[in-house]
Amino acid sequence: MIQNVINFISGKLLRLESRLGLFFSSLVIATVMLACAMLYAQPVLTVAFHGIQFSLLSEHPFDFSLINPMRYRILSPLIGYLFFLRGTYFFILPLLVTWLLIGTVYYQYRRKNFEAIDAFLLTCFISFSCVVLIPLVAPGYTDVVTWFLVFLAFIKAEKPGVSATFYALALLNHESSAVVLPAMLLYAWSKNKNAAGRILTFYLLACLPHLCYRWYVNAHSATLYNLSFYLSEKNVLFTLKRIILFGPVAAFYTFKLWWLLPLCLAGFTILRKKKLQASILVLILAGTFSLIIISYDYTRMLVIAFPAVLLSYEWLLEMDKAKLRKFTIVLVALNFLILQYHFNYDGAQPMFPWILNKFSAMLGTPLN
Q: Is the pLDDT of residue 252 over 60?
A: yes
Alpha helices in the chain (DSSP H): 2-40, 50-59, 75-82, 92-111, 116-127, 130-137, 143-155, 160-173, 181-191, 196-220, 227-230, 233-255, 260-272, 275-291, 298-302, 306-317, 321-336, 354-362
> Cα 116 from chain centroid?
22
Banded pLDDT at 49 (limits 50, 70, 90): confident
Q: Is the pLDDT of residue 205 over 60?
A: yes
All structural domains of the chain with their residue ranges: 226-351
Residue 60: the pLDDT is 93
Q: Is the pLDDT of residue 365 over 60?
A: no
Residue 245: the pLDDT is 86
Banded pLDDT at 56 (limits 50, 70, 90): very high
Convert the pLDDT of each residue in 123-159 to its tens digit.
Answer: 999 999 999 999 999 989 999 999 999 999 999 999 9
Q: Which residues pair with 344 in a beta bridge?
A: 347
Residue 364: the pLDDT is 56
Length of the chain: 368
pTM here is 0.95
- φ/ψ of 304, rounded to 5, equals -65, -5
CB 66 within 8 A of CB 155: no
Q: Coil, helix or strand for 195?
A: coil
Residue 221: the pLDDT is 86
DSSP annotation string for 203-250: HHHHHHHHHHHHHHHHHH---SSSHHHHTSHHHHHHHHHHHHHHHHHH
Sign of the C-alpha dihedral computed for residues 264, 240, 286 and 156 taken in this order: positive
CB 268 within 8 A of CB 325: no
Q: What is d(CA 264, CA 312) in angstroms, rounded to the nearest whole number?
A: 8
The residue with greater pLDDT, 244 or 307, is: 307
Q: Is the pLDDT of residue 53 over 90?
A: yes
Residue 367: the pLDDT is 56
**Percent with pLDDT over 70 in the chain:** 97
Residue 143: the pLDDT is 97
